A and B are shown apart, each in its own frame.
Chain A
Amino acid sequence: MSAEIAEPVTDDIVSVTGWGRTAPTAPARLVRPRSYEETARAVRDCGTRGGIPRGLGRAYGDAAQNAGGSVIQMTALDRVLSVDTEAGTVSCEAGTSLHRLMEVLLPLGWFVPVTPGTRHVTVGGAIGADIHGRNHHVSGSFSRHVLSLDLLTADGSVHRVVPGTPLFDATAGGMGLTGVILAATFRLHPVETSLMSVDTERATDLDDLMARLTTSDHAYHYSAAWIDLLARGSSLGRSVLTRGNHTPLAELPARARRRPLAFRPTRLPGAPSYVPEGLLRRKTAGLFNELRYRGAPRRRTGELRRVPAFFHPLDGVPHWNRLYGRGGCVRYQFAVGHGQEEALIRIVRRIVRRGCPSFLAVLKRLGAGDPGWLSFPMAGWTLALDIPTGPTGLGSFLDELDQDVAAAGGRVCLAKDSRLRPELLAAMYPRLDEFRSLRAELDPRAVFVSDLSRRLSI
């Protein structure tokens, strides 16, 4: 081995955005370290405007950008270190994507414990944003399955952090502001096949949907509902409920039993780099929603679907976020607790009345909240929707929704956020002060800074 350590790879400076492509800012240095030593050096050299780790850039807002400072892209640290097929655990470096893990683990009969709507997130990002998936009602968020993680803190030291400690609870959902996660070990979910048994049903309105979710969600490992937020009147809240479980081997048709654990995602051509502004507007959204609702079966059970088709349909279209045009899109996701159903219905009504051109509106029932201080999920309900930035007055409208959400004791998701007012953050995240004081102690020179932390004064 050579004694000299090569310089970390530094890219030419370009402006960086989140997946929503709003508010681009330029880091002074975009570093892609290839080893722990290079990561430590990148943290040490990040300069007066600090640094922030970045994974695959799937956070919608400005969580993984740092104007004028360093952005430490962790995707080159992507080795799967060990897999314990007996105990069902994996250790890997933080830059490993869930996609890569599925390629490695599915043939062994194991699945990642939690996956969001895309496989292209890193393990470091999954912990930093404490992601949740369609199985939150039974499995909780990602960090609940983490057994330990290695954290590089501002002073350059590496800590092995285990659940139940303040540093763990600050890091899980801490948006990369406690340090750089280098590696993690977490539990896996055993599966007999790589196919999902999916039940689809249509709900005629919001009450119907919420009743169905409440009474029968426990029978499914994964559950989410797509809502048509442009339908008004008696069909307000009409939706398609899709729920599923991993298919046991015995239920597989004979033909599929030859390769029960295959993982073969398809990839369509990517979206072009230029898409005219206003392709996805109210009319197209209305048409899309109409087709989607009417195209869904009224009730169908036991349909077999592959993992990519069930969990990550959008991953089939690379750069699909470009379809929103240059202005990009805002993802608005909020959660309210049980007992706040009235508030949820009120907010849905407001969105419907306003006619936001929303394509991807998803309602989900969440399980018990997670210990992370800035973790988003709370026992209750969450609604997420994508809206192109085009409509006039959208910013003020979402500000009003924030007020409603905060008044109902709810919160918006920081990994998606790109526009929350700082005043509301403490109301939404009651343990914010603890987070701030731990950060002040751990990182007194404020080495870890992001545009998100500047905007919200975290």
Chain B
Amino acid sequence: MKDAFGIPQSLLVLGGTSEIALATARRLIARRTRTVWLAGRASPALDTAAEQLRTQGADVRTVDFDALDPDSHAEVLGKVFAEGDIDMTLLAFGVLGDQAHDEADPLSAVRVAQTNYTGAVSAGLVCAAAMQTQGHGSLVVLSSVAGERARRANFIYGSSKAGLDAFAQGLGDAMHGTGVHVMVVRPGFVRTRRTAGLEETPLATTPEAVAAAVELGLRRRSETVWVPGALRVAMSLLRHLPRPVFRRLPI
């Protein structure tokens, strides 16, 4: 069960090798999380991640999960929930894609959309339904500021996150009053392995900062969390810029 500060005792991570997710898991384990499920495609990276969390004293188990195979989600995730209550699910899988390459190869672009959006729709609904049955739980969805307004530089990724973000907001409304809390986290540019070598946008942040923001959001039972918080103001300005101006911005 959650404690008074919203900290879960059991955590399910979808996208178990995500650096943001692991930073969040480490932070929550340091508080009181004891059981962690890492869901992802079986790989040495997933095992290493599990081993690292185990050294912190958590009971970590891995489960084979593929975002691109929605048919399997109900069964795979159903098994996890059957083992015991999950107090928090962190939906952290997603791919960045390569904008230039994906624009030339529509099938790769579809893959980005399928992973980030379609996969999240099925996994999110399965988890939300299971949490509704258990009467409690937090579903934390890692969205992105890229979904707030699509930029020329990464609109394929951005549009998939826009879909995910809208989906998660609607799901949050649907879950209101059921004991299930859906929280959308919108980080800006996060410095990770995945973004190494990419050009940073202003207000770049780190996985640890995202993890801290997630913990704060859980305590406040927030519906939306921006990381860093200043992005909330910046994005509300950008959102209202006329397109001819927005297009010319160096972001």
Contacts and interface: CB of A to CB of B under 8 A. Distances in A.
Interface of A: 13-15, 20, 22-28, 49, 61-62, 66-69, 277, 326-328, 330, 389, 392, 394-396, 399, 418-419, 421, 451, 454-455
Contact of A23 (B2, B31, B216): B2
Interface stretch (B131-139, B156-164, B185-193, B239-247): B131-139
B45 to A, nearest CB: 30
A327 B221 contact: yes
A15 B177 contact: yes
Contacts, number: 84
Given A330-B4, A395-B7, 6 more contacts: A14-B177, A24-B136, A49-B135, A327-B219, A418-B3, A419-B5
Interface in B191-235: 216, 219-221
B1 A23 contact: yes
Contacts of A24: 136, 179
Contacts of B221: 326-327
Given A15-B178, A26-B177, A455 B5 contact: no
B5 A389 contact: yes
Contacts of A66: 135
B180 to A, nearest CB: 8
Interface of A (DSSP majority class): loop
Contacts of B135: 25-28, 49, 66-69
Interface of B: 1-7, 9, 31-32, 85, 132-136, 177-180, 216, 219-221
A419 B179 contact: no
A15 B4 contact: no
B4 A49 contact: no
8 contacts: A67-B179, A68-B179, A327-B219, A389-B219, A395-B31, A395-B219, A418-B4, A455-B9
B4 A61 contact: yes
B136 A67 contact: yes
A23 B180 CA distance: 10
B1 A419 contact: no
Contacts of A326: 220-221
Contacts of B177: 13-15, 26
A392 B212 CA distance: 11
Contacts of B220: 277, 326-327
Nearest to A330: B4
B209 to A, nearest CB: 14
Given A25-B179, A327-B219, A68 B4 contact: no
